[in-house]
Copies of this chain bind each other. A is one copy, B any other.
Amino acid sequence: MKPKGKATSFDIAHFAGVSQSTVSRALRNSPLVNEETRRRVWEVAKQLNYKVDKNASNLRTQQSSTLALLLFEDPTGDESQINPFFLNMLGSITRACAKQGYDLLVSFQSSSQDWRADYEDSHRADGIILLGYGDYMDYQSRLQQLLAQDTKFVCWGATVDGREDLTVSCDNYGGGKLAAEHLLQQNRSQYVFIGDASDHSPEFFARFKGFRDTLTAQGHSLSERQIANAISTEESGYHATRSLLANNIQFDALFAASDLIAIGALKALKEAGKDVPGDVAVVGFDNIAAASFISPALTTVQQNTTLAGQMLVNNLLNLIKGEAVTDTLLPPKLIVRRSA
């Protein structure tokens, strides 16, 4: 018994001696079908290595059991360098999807070029997860459009006032606070921040604010000159730190908006002959794998990617089901290692 090509439910029906409707019901374990019939159908299906045609069933049921992940890359461009933090997120999102019986379509967006948010329109996915740093201002309008089209989606990152989208994010403000408190405990006196302290990167901005507010509450100020701009790459962190040094800014405590930035800073400090943590204490953010490899091992604020991935897919699924969902804030955690 071998039909040519892939077996269909009609083939199963034929060999099991029942109607095609019954095959469909049996395979979906409908309580309507007789136990014995069900067994026979499954038996035949297995022998023919039958699998339900997802295109047909999706078309019929008007849903896809698939989620799409749009990953925004840093605008750096280097093809093969993806921020390890997002790669981790990707791993946990995939797993969370699998656990819920959903498949995951993945797409990388190189900046604003090729906006691929039509997965839902074309019925390929029931909803979309947006992930990435990048300049929020840039794709703000795209989000508005998704909202207008009633596309189901959830964003990783910062909640932005006046935006109606659903977000899951780390408590970045609280994370900045954790970093400041740790540094304060060591009686450091001159602080610097490296990252983007503007609303182009709401996440970095929140980390900055938590850091600054905590410092000022303890009587430490943070002037313009003690803030160096950097995007989330090692290189950018390296250059920002060098310019701080070149400008003769004095500091014994450095908070980087991401681990990649911190790693670049470590390199610049080493080159300048500064001892870490002796001369300068350094704290990063993310807890990527490299943070524990580097020397000195990096003290950093960890984001729980496993939980983040789960919340992202669970919230999206609830949104799709029409249930009430609210923004989620995940607690950060300080990981103390050698650098501070």
Contact = CB atoms under 8 A, between A and B. Distances in A.
A216 interface: no
Interface stretch (A26-34, A83-91, A172-180, A245-253): A83-91
A1 interface: no
Given A87-B87, A105-B103, A106-B104, A121 B80 contact: no
Interface in A220-241: 234
B55 A59 contact: yes
Contact of A51 (B91, B121, B234, B294): B121
Contacts of A107: 94, 98, 103-104
A114 interface: yes
Interface string A48-78: 0101111110110000101000000000000
- The A interface is mostly helix, strand or loop, or mixed, namely mixed
Interface in A265-313: 289-290, 293-295, 305-306
Contact of A290 (B118, B121, B293): B293
A25 interface: no
13 contacts: A51-B122, A54-B55, A54-B124, A56-B123, A79-B95, A79-B306, A87-B90, A90-B90, A95-B108, A98-B108, A98-B116, A104-B106, A294-B294
